[in-house]
Amino acid sequence: MGILSKLRDMVKSQPILVIFLVEIAQALTSRDYFSSTQTSHSDHSPRDLDLSIIVGSLCLILRKWRQRRAIRAAVPTINYLIGYGAKVILSSHLGRPKGVTPKYSLKPLVPRLSELLGVEVKMANDCIGEEVEKLVAEIPEGGVLLLENVRFYKEEEKNDPEFAKKLASFADLYVNDAFGTAHRAHASTEGVAKYLKPSVAGFLMQKELDYLVGAVANPKKPFAAIVGGSKVSSKIGVIESLLEKVDILILGGGMIFTFYKAQGHAVGSSLVEEDKLSLARSLMEKAKAKGVSLLLPSDIVVADKFAADANSKVVPASGIPDGWMGLDIGPETIKSFGEALDTTKTVIWNGPMGVFEFEKFATGTEAIAKKLAELSGKGATTIIGGGDSVAAVEKVGLADKMSHISTGGGASLELLEGKPLPGVLALNDA
């Protein structure tokens, strides 16, 4: 599934066209969003960018570009292609427009993309059609063309074969670096690979798979997983899958109150999924049967309302008062979780310990981030599995201390659950 030798050999033998597809947040168009980005070829770790490549003579598809780290993640693959004379066509999606919607146009990206990549980026007014075909033919070796938002066509998300074929018609080779959307079978992530061979993984995709698949399949022991978030229902598959592999499973976030109630504890006004009580009991029994140390918080920071300025206090997890809700793990829990993690060699973290968006209830999540940074410094493999846990690590400035920051939220979860990812299966070397 590697990209290096295949791309190098293809580009050396003939000029290659690259289509670069991006799912871009609104903030991408602002100068501040792009500030401080670097183009180091050694930095392949950034988050939240999904990059794929098609080539027509070469097509590169960049799909999800939300943070500075994500921007840096794309640069090595793009620069590698440009460096070997590839003709790069950037094609992206932004938002969920219903047809052609000017506010979702990608045109504002051109100046910053040009600055970031160090080459003049040209812009097309469409992503398929004769105009694009003409512009593609005019791209010089090492040149870049940005196509208009692919989601202006409803066929993109429907994975329409004809639309995918039109996208692929510009290319000779497909490289998918879009891990964050690898769990979606869209025309630009799965469909195009049917028309372009070989279809290979980019630097970022390969790193994601190496860490998330490799760490779980063959982890250094002891292996711990930290799973947070508001609902058990959203993490059932992950928890069940991890119970087959980990030595320690730490649970935090709003989901813990369903477990507490399943144990017969008072939970006050805390979030509880009443229909998941038997599931919670089943998961605890399964952990015990498999010899997995399943750890729940021993104390909780509770609040009298769900607000940043709420009154708060620390109470035992076994008895949350009526009218109060748990919004973070307590100091004793932070200490005990830290001690449990001290001997671990591999840690995967997905989901915050509390409502970290409120400063008063961010202590537990920040403490876990600091602990994992400490473990990384001691040689442990630490993987942040996308979503809010990534935002938390970024917030405390410790992202660079982790072994790997995943760019995929849903994709990370599905991979940890053991589910196949359409965007990966589409690669002929997968």
Asked if the model's pLDDT at residue 130 lies above 90, the reply is yes
Question: Same structural domain for residues 315 and 189?
Answer: no
CATH code of 287's domain: 3.40.50.1260
Phi first, then psi: give them for residue 157, nearest 5 degrees.
-75, -20
| Least-confidence region, from 292-306, 373-387, 406-420 | 406-420
Q: Please name which of 333, 425, 419 lies closest in space to residue 371, comparing C-alpha atoms.
A: 333
Across 100-113, average pLDDT = 88
Asked whether residue 424 is domain-assigned, the answer is: no
- Residues 126 and 258 both lie in one domain: no
Mean pLDDT of 367-394: 92
Task: Kindly state whether residues 178 and 226 are assigned to the same domain.
Answer: no
Q: Is the residue at 245 inside a domain?
A: yes
Q: Are residues 180 and 97 in the same domain?
A: yes
Of 62-76, 260-274, 329-343, 408-422, which range is least confident? 62-76
422 located within any domain? no
Show which of 205, 230, 262 is a domain's final residue.
205
334 versus 406: the higher-pLDDT residue is 334
| Same domain (yes/no): 381, 248 | yes
388 pLDDT tier (thresholds 50, 70, 90) = confident
In a domain, 308, yes or no: yes
Strand ranges across the sheet with 299-303: 312-316, 299-303, 325-329
Q: What is the pLDDT of residue 428?
A: 66
As a whole number of angstroms, the distance between CA 193 and CA 66 comes to 25
Mean pLDDT, range 133-144, rounded to an integer: 90
Position 389 pLDDT exceeds 80: yes
Does the bond joining 297 to the residue before it have cis omega, within 30 degrees of 0? Answer: no
Let me know if residue 197 belongs to a domain. yes
* Whether residues 397 and 343 fall in one domain: yes
- Whether residue 136 sits in one domain with residue 233: no
pLDDT at 393 over 70: yes
> What confidence tier does 17 reach under pLDDT thresholds 50, 70, 90?
low
| 235 in a labelled binding site | yes
Does residue 140 fall inside a structural domain? Answer: yes
Q: Is 83 helix (H, G, I), strand (E, B) or coil?
A: helix
Strands 319-320 and 266-267: parallel
| Contact between 260 and 296 (Cβ < 8 Å) | yes
423/402 Cα distance (integer angstroms): 26
The residues near 88 (Cβ < 8 Å, ≥ 6 apart) are 17, 18, 19, 20, 58, 60, 78, 81, 82, 139, 143, 144, 145
Asked whether the whole model's pTM tops 0.85, one would answer no
Q: Is 244 marked as a binding-site residue?
A: no
Same domain, 28 and 60: yes
Q: Please check whether residues 168 and 263 belong to one and the same domain.
A: no
Tell me whether residue 386 is annotated as binding. yes
pLDDT grade for 336, boundaries at 50, 70 and 90 = very high
Instruction: For residue 50, give its domain range.
Output: 4-205
pLDDT digits over 52-91, tens only? Answer: 334 332 333 333 334 455 555 667 778 888 888 888 887 7
- Residues 328 and 369 both lie in one domain: yes
Domain boundary among 155, 171, 205: 205
Q: How confident is the model at residue 430 (pLDDT cuts 50, 70, 90)?
A: very low
Structural domain ending residue among the three candidates 205, 232, 257:
205
Mean pLDDT, range 109-118, rounded to an integer: 83
Q: Is 85 annotated as a binding residue?
A: no
Number of domains into which the chain is organized: 2
Mean pLDDT of 31-48: 30
The residue assigned the tokens 């961010």 is 362
280 in any annotated domain: yes
Q: Is residue 212 one of the residues assigned to a domain?
A: no
Same domain membership, residue 193 and residue 50: yes
134 lies in the same domain as 227: no
Mean pLDDT over the full length of the chain? 83
What pLDDT, on the 0 to 100 scale, is given for residue 250?
98
